[in-house]
Structure 1
Amino acid sequence: MRKLSILSFVLTSLIFNSCQSDDDTDTNVHNEETRLSNFNPEVKLDTKSLQYDYSSRSKLNKGTSNTISSDQIIVTYPQYTFIGSLLNAETIDNSSYSPAPFQLKPIDISFSFPTDFIQSTISRPSLSAMRAAVNKATRDVNFSGQQSLSFEYDIKQFSKYEEAKLAFGANVNVGSLFKLEASGSSHSIKKKTGVFAKFIHRNFTVDMDLPYDGNIFLNPLDKQNSASHNPVYISSITYGRLGVLALESNYSFDEVLFALKAAFTAKVVNGELSIDIQSKKVLEESELKTYVLGGKGTDATQIVNGYKGFSDFIVNGGEFTAEVPGVPIYFSASHASDNSIFFTKFSIE
């Protein structure tokens, strides 16, 4: 009888341990799926500081943090930048932008400007559907863009072009974007001073509601099936105009900083920036390349060269109307696995 009891105990223990092992396996699988789907890029930069040297928005924090995170990414591929766009997170990091092949449920969106159509539902997320929703909202009789407009700029000294990744908020190929020579984004400046500046007219945002049940997929099983694609969906888009300026000069950083601040705060007189003679001289004698979004009459990305191209972009900006709503300049994304924020972490090498 005692032998039967011992045998029974051994069998029970084996069954329990087997079940426990299965549970552990299921947990490990779930954790692995979460790890895969929650890919957040990390970018190491050869720089002395991750802080801007000047910002128009607020007093700069003079801290010496060796890491910062960014969840706002400058648009480099407009065709993939629409609310509800489902992308492989790793391809955002390597700038190839590959859509994840899964269909989303209808999404609810809202606009940050006054309109009777402040909320809208998009049955199948696409670029054309977003454009149609924006057009409908801005054509409403109660639409107003006056209180939405803001202008801001940030300025930072640099020695290697790869440092401009900070301005873009992502691991972009700076060499390709600025059409540099073959040495690429690690290319060092050739003149005495290097400065990049990011300047933005923010008009409004289009924001997506979180899914009511936590699952954005039309087929609920795709939440699990898509894990290997590291899917993220674009959950917020900022419309407006934007420029990222890369400047090399034989003038000192202080002289360039003064000149840029003068240009960004100048009034427009007879179609030109009204700045002091010395500031204009500094900028005209420097080498300028400006990556622009929202140039007059186009939603494509462009590179404009020289002081004239830079100043023309500023002069022709600032208007926010139903006819000129701006273009997508920034986007934020969320992980499809748990709707957490997708971000890029920058650190000093």
Structure 2
Amino acid sequence: MKTVKNLIKVTLIVSLTLLLISCSEDSPVKVDTEKNAADIQEYISKLSYNPDQMLNVQSTGGEESTREVLEDTSSTITSGNITTICRQTTYNLKKNFDQIAILRPTTGIVWAGALVKGNQSLMDGIPEPIGIERAPITFSVNLPGMGANGTRTVNNPAASSVQAAIDSSLEWWNNNAYVDGYVNAANSSFHLGTSYSSKQLSLDVDLNAEWASGSVSTQFNYFSSETKKVVMAVFKQAFYDVIFDTPISPEKVFSEETTLSKVQSVINDATAPAYIKSVTYGRIIMFRMETTNTFKSADVQAAFEYAAGFSVDGSLKATYDEILQESSIDLVTIGGNAAVATEPISSANSNSATTILQKIQSVISGENALYSKNNPGVPIGYSVFYLKDNSLAKLGYTTEYTANECVTTQNSNTFNIYLGNFSVIKDCDGIEGGGEFYFKVQFLDENNNVLANGFNKYLDVYDPYNYLINQTKTFTMPRTIGKKVVVKLICYESDKDILGNVYYDSRMNGATISGIHSYNSNGTWSGTSPSSRSIEIGKDTNCNVKLHYSITYQ
């Protein structure tokens, strides 16, 4: 009997166990996704952080950057005919960025929709991913003519799956919109700066050396000195953007299975959650120009703007041509995954200004400035927004640097004026006989003061006739605005009447003509390029003479 009772007990226990197992298999414990999502939303919305402090946002009064003078000194050294004025100015440069340029390898980290931490890693240009399971994401590619074909949804977002979806959109554009005549020229931005320190230069050209590594970083290690100027110009040419749809609420970016504890283990006040809102694809091209320190920084920068096709003061083109011809210019391109290629454009005194202009402008606006299947561009920059409130994450940087600007000038120029032929084109006497000429050449300043001994000569000749003077006159002139070098020709022609009385032809009775060469604000003398000149009296008459001369200075 006792055995039967024990058997019944065992049977009941086994039955209950099987029943519990069966219930567990048929009715699994469900996660309350709605409550979980609400908890995550509440947690993120209550995160307390100061984005301006976290990312060092600078007070710039709404401007992209500000530059404050901290100290300003100058010195002057005169040695003979040369004066050198050096000005040392210490600045505090502040700049905020809305977009981070890709200047170091970020493959697998930077993609539209990626979750990243809004901490120091952003400041360093290599964002730290947030490794939490994701909900599907939607993004768009903004090539013209793309329409709905540019919008893609990725169910399991990661760098590889997002890139595959981007490739699919681009393939559609290449096979359809491009064929239909849509062309997408680059949207180009341009920044220019003179180099005094690597950080200052990088901020001025909108790149920031703190984001760079390896061969990109070394491009900022060329500095101006007392003997040379270094200028860098940067073109960011954007072909298209990949834009992540703004999440309507923070928790929507996570998988439904993501728990609050998982979020709390990764995200806190010190690591504010953010996302990559957009990634720009295109190319970054840099021109580095080095020239002698006899030119002002502003003039060197303006010379490159001129070379790049920007409108400049026409009266200064001769100066800009000179700067370009005396400069060495290198092209630096940043390719996929921040790979660098360097190519010389011109070395000092090796090419004409026209050739340099053509080379630079062909790089800027050539076929590689257009998106195409064979020229798809690479990721060149990205913007980051905070997940908490979808606000832009600005990044601020500051640096102090000293600009040492030395300008060396000559106080005067030494002129050499070579007198060539005095030409009698028409002898004033028609067919009746030759002409009896007396002419003299004077060298005067703007106040008619004599600069050098003149030349005079009597000639009794028939036209046409060339008399070679073959003399050089040398003198010195101050390099002062308003100063003038005047080459003056005075000519007489005499005849005799039937009684043998001498009289002067009224058309050549002390007739004068002058070549005037004035000192200009651009540091040159007018009318000296080309150096060969001529002045003429009585053009297109039968009483016509001309003086040929050349004028050079140093």
Which TM bucket (shorter chain)? Answer: 0.5 to 0.7
TM, length-normalised to structure 2: 0.45
Unaligned runs of 5+ in 1: 1-28, 53-63, 267-275
1:51-77 Cα deviation digits (max 9, x unpaired):
69xxxxxxxxxxx99754211111123
User: Residue in 1 aligned with 2:167?
Assistant: 135
- Which deviates further from its counterpart, 191-200 or 68-77? 191-200
Aligned runs of 1:1-349 on 2, under 5 Å? 33-35=47-49, 40-42=54-56, 50=65, 67-76=94-103, 77-79=105-107, 80-88=109-117, 89-113=119-143, 114-115=145-146, 116-140=148-172, 141-144=175-178, 146-147=183-184, 149-166=186-203, 167-170=205-208, 172=210, 176-180=214-218, 188-190=223-225, 191-215=227-251, 216-218=253-255, 219=258, 221=260, 222-225=262-265, 226-227=267-268, 228-250=270-292, 251-265=295-309, 282-283=323-324, 285-286=326-327, 291-294=332-335, 300-307=338-345, 311=360, 314=364, 315=366, 317-347=368-398, 349=400
Aligned residues: 291
The structure-2 alpha-carbon separation of the partners of 1:329 and 1:180, relative to structure 1 and needing over 3 Å to count, comes to: closer
Partners of 2:383 and 2:191 lie apart in 1 by 20
The structure-2 alpha-carbon separation of the partners of 1:97 and 1:68, relative to structure 1 and needing over 3 Å to count, comes to: closer
CA contact (8 A) 1:160 1:188 kept: yes
Q: Displacement, 1:242? A: 1.3
- Which deviates further from its counterpart, 235-244 or 220-229? 220-229
Q: Displacement, 1:146? A: 1.5
Unaligned runs of 5+ in 2: 1-42, 59-63, 68-90, 311-316, 348-358, 401-554
- Which deviates further from its counterpart, 330-339 or 106-115? 330-339
TM, length-normalised to structure 1: 0.67
**Structure with more helix by fraction:** 1
Partners of 1:152 and 1:110 lie apart in 2 by 22
CA contact (8 A) 2:126 2:211 kept: no
CA contact (8 A) 1:178 1:289 kept: no
CA contact (8 A) 1:83 1:125 kept: no
**Is the partner of 2:369 in helix, strand or coil?**
coil
User: Residue in 1 aligned with 2:9?
Assistant: none
**Structure with more strand by fraction:** 2
Relative contact order higher in (CA < 8 Å, ≥ 6 apart): 1
CA contact (8 A) 1:199 1:242 kept: yes
Q: Displacement, 1:136? A: 1.4
Larger radius of gyration: 2
CA contact (8 A) 1:241 1:326 kept: yes
Q: Displacement, 1:260? A: 1.8
Q: Displacement, 1:78? A: 3.8
**Is the partner of 1:198 in helix, strand or coil?**
strand
User: Residue in 2 aligned with 1:58?
Assistant: none
- Which deviates further from its counterpart, 306-315 or 159-168? 306-315
CA contact (8 A) 2:142 2:150 kept: yes
Q: Could you tell me the percent identity over the aligned residues?
A: 19
CA contact (8 A) 2:116 2:129 kept: yes
Partners of 2:280 and 2:345 lie apart in 1 by 27
CA contact (8 A) 2:368 2:375 kept: no
CA contact (8 A) 2:94 2:398 kept: yes
Letter of the 2:200 counterpart: E
Partners of 1:172 and 1:287 lie apart in 2 by 27
CA contact (8 A) 1:73 1:168 kept: no
User: Residue in 2 aligned with 1:55?
Assistant: none
